[in-house]
């Protein structure tokens, strides 16, 4: 699969490339997106494990990623932090988890690397594996409405596509109504470029 190969190549450099954004943007947001969650929780798109330091105390954590190379980096971080998390290599559009496996799912910048045709299958899979009444939190980028920020993002877009296979304009929320989820809220956490979508499985 193209993404698996792509992230196999970039895995050893991923944290270095992301370091400026990690310190200037992401760290404060990681604390927010895990707040209040409990039970069995999926970190969907765990990557190199940047979220591990912010996992809720007492949570039964599972980290999923498509890339074995990224998971190796996550395993090394798990050892350094002494984090308790099971790491699973799987495709988010077709996991092997049983129905209603998780009390909550958190995804940080996963959907911006999923092509448009994968957005709906991935959301449907989250709806399937999250229990009724559970919560799904999706942290993603959005194209800014501010002219200067928007222009800067347009300039960065080719590099983001080349390096990460990602895009700023996935508009994941537009796929939610057809996914078996209901959108609870959308709010921006960093200017108008990083948003948090909160959804839950729709009652049958």
Q: Give the mean pLDDT of 15-32.
A: 84
Q: Which of 33-37, 122-126, 142-146, 200-204 has the lowest mean pLDDT?
A: 200-204
In this prediction, residue 163 has a pLDDT band, given cuts at 50, 70 and 90, of: confident
Strands 194-201 and 181-190: antiparallel
What pTM, to 2 d.p., does this model score?
0.92
Query: With 60 as the cut, is the pLDDT of residue 1 above it?
Result: no
Q: Kindly give, in sequence order, each residue whose CB lies less than 8 Å from that of residue 38, ignoring residues fewer than 6 positions away.
A: 56, 58, 59, 103, 104
Indicate the DSSP class of residue 145: S
Q: Output the six-digit token pair for 7.
A: 């992230």
Q: How far apart, in whole angstroms, are the C-alpha atoms of residue 113 and residue 98?
A: 25
* Residue 6, pLDDT score: 66
DSSP-derived secondary structure for 70-128: HHHHHHHHHHHHT--EEEEE--TTS--PPTT-EEEEEEES-GGGS-HHHHHHHHHHHHH
Nearest in space to 70 (alpha carbons), one of 141, 136, 123, 3: 3
């Amino acid at each position: 699969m193209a993404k698996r190969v792509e992230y196999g190549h970039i895995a050893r450099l991923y944290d270095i490339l992301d370091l400026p954004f990690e310190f200037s943007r992401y760290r404060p947001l990681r604390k927010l997106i895990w707040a209040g969650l409990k039970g069995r929780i999926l970190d969907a798109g765990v990557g190199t494990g940047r979220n591990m330091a912010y996992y809720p105390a007492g949570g039964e954590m599972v980290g999923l990623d498509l890339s074995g190379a990224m998971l190796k980096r996550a395993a090394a971080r798990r050892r350094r932090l002494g984090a308790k998390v099971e790491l699973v290599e799987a495709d988010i559009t077709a996991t092997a988890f049983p129905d209603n496996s998780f009390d909550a799912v958190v995804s940080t910048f996963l959907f911006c690397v999923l092509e448009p045709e994968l957005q709906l299958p991935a959301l449907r899979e989250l709806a399937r594996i999250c229990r009724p009444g559970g919560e799904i939190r999706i942290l993603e980028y959005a194209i800014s409405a501010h002219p200067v920020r928007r222009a800067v993002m347009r300039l960065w877009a080719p590099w983001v596509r080349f390096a990460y296979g990602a895009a700023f304009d996935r508009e994941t929320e537009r796929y939610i109504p057809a996914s078996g989820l209901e959108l609870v809220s959308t709010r921006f956490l960093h200017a108008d470029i990083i948003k948090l979508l909160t959804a839950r499985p729709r009652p049958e």
